[in-house]
A and B are shown apart, each in its own frame.
Chain A
């Protein structure tokens, strides 16, 4: 198997996050060094990655940005939290799908696939996933912030 440094994968996820957010919601994201969601309501989406390398993505999005993205996707406000949750899950699935498609086309035999998204919403959530080598990407825009933590199992 071709040697792959999974740290390189985070570039594909960052590019996908920015391009899909632009394409689906018309929002340009700016890179920032760090972000904090303390005392803010956020939505967190966890999507597992399976294939030759196992890992997960954790996407955290502030409520204002979730509202803007889902309204753009729906061409209008969504009626309830359930619908918002389903839409933000699909947005996350599409952007992770683009990232792993680009990775699969770039690297031989990695054949990554995604698990269905798990979506949470709340304030001051702490989500910890040990034993993963991860990269954190942070962005902001006029509507709020988004971060993406991409982690893969060590030892591959």
Chain B
């Protein structure tokens, strides 16, 4: 095939980008090797090369990102990544979202944070720099390999290494358009999914990936610690990084929940979706690791477990990436996955880190002598370790359950007839087990605070301990009873969980204020535990007690055998509906960009039906970028101290949601033709279904007036057009009520536009037929012209009207007359009935004599100049005119069409009250604040020591 010279492609930037990936790949390996040499040979001379390599690899990460951003900002659609993720209309602020919406971009974001965190460690120039960055460089090496996009091997055994983000569109597919050298001028990008066009998508991924990346640091420290055998030092240095990672990853997970709750119509913040699970699991392991790290620092025991937990947390993050990006989860998740074709490569990476770590553990086995001393049941470390094990249990349960599709797949390899299974009801299933995890954590995190490290004289401490326990149990009991009676507790298990949560709240408050006197060290852990308790209480309150405002018991038809909760109600515009103590009105809707905003007004009523509170919510329908189709419905939530009212639109009429269907529906309407005349009513009979029977409704239509300036909402006046609207009164003979409609018809050039009117209350649609344009546009051949001669200021009486020729005016302007060079043109000015000015135009152009007629709309007189007769002396000019008058009576006959068209001014609304949901958010945030205070404490302590 002949090579085509494509026009307008920017190939250099992509080649440069790909080269940067390869350079970064090489330098990450070199950095790993040089740092390795520095550690293993204890030769400081390697340090310089190592640092330069690491710095250069970081620069390559930044360069690759910058170039990829650049092709997206510039909309270089010859690149697949730009073509897939942006389009011309995408606002600049969403370029970031588009960048990490796709696989390669999110990998780059992850690598970016690795590089940043690595540089921080590099510039600290501590003794951990070399071993930690050696491990981090290996991780980066694997990640760069994901972006390589090269084929290795021969023929059938070729193996694709990585996916190059700079691949060209025409390299990814074979389409006929690429035979056109100028294909770039013809194509436009796909753009960003409208669901991702919000600020959450801008902030959530960077935080989450910082969480992911920060989790690599404790792993790198763990490998480094095992490698250099500096176990004590490892414990001291890793803890602030691990706590930091826990705080950031926790923030990322929480943001994901907030996004789902605030901006998506899931109706909740947590759904036990595989993607959520697999980001939670590493966090659980990490938090467990931090607790064992504390134990190990205090007691010198359990060091092996610290290593194990940090390594497992990292491996779980890579496993989570594998699960969510390999497409293996398939139908079990609402998240849409596209595969990158790198499953094998990711598996190799995971196996490398698993077996590498295991091998290192084996090598260092003798470093960790098994402690034969009996565990001390009255010491804090024992129960803290049990708590960490409970967290690990939780992580294990979630991982195994989420991995069910993996198990199915593996078993199917060995046993092709095997049919995989899925979890029937994920939310119930996970809640059932994790409830007990939360119960244990609640109790352990309360009791643990009161116990002392390495307790040896518990008998003496017992009295103090009993007092504390008494206070906290009493507090928890009172709170549980008060709160529990306000809540609707379905089962005894919830009472247990509520008590355990209040127990950790009261115990940690008591410990923080009474025992530790707000010592900052104690505040960090107490706040975290306290926050955890409040968070669980909030999720109990909002989960168990949520209820639908939008359940209308009268609208049930009982077609489904089980009595189900009716979640949705239908609201007509401006027709209030009463539900669950609220009067709800769909008041208005309007567009802002491609977002259609609905005003839904809520009025809370007391038992007497008097309004006590009112507020308006604005759920939206988000249309696609061309505003032809709804892409998604987004909720709107009223936040109050005690509850949230979450509302979203479950459905709108198809006609409103999809322009294509609207067009089909309009075409399929059966319009009945009616001729309207003034003072002559016409009748339209409509067949309406009421319940199981049909009835005939009769409407009386009267033409009131013909408006030359239409009032239709969609109509925008333009020049050089003919428009009018008949003003029609519609009398509903059944309900004895009258409506006014003004459908409009417009002639613009050759095209006729109809602005139809949908009378929603009566389910009727009105249009003006095209033929009605005759009313404004009398056919020339229908006119009966007669010739008259006018002298200046001469008055003639024609068809009962006086017409006076008052003379010529220069520089005429009109719609029809287009001036040309050399024209001699004049207005001939006439006065009709002594008041109305009518000005036809005469024009001499070369040898031609042109005339342009004028119409007096009031009388229907058409004035057309014929020629100018000069008198023999040339001083006196007489104007020969052709004048006709329209037959008004006939023209007043306006044909219209009336059709039955079902109402489209409604929304289907779902509205849920979440009581106490703020406790969930406040609790989560308090927990994270506790973690960050912990980071602060550890850093301070490290500086001191």
A binds B: no
A interface residue numbers (CB < 8 A to B): none
B interface residue numbers (CB < 8 A to A): none
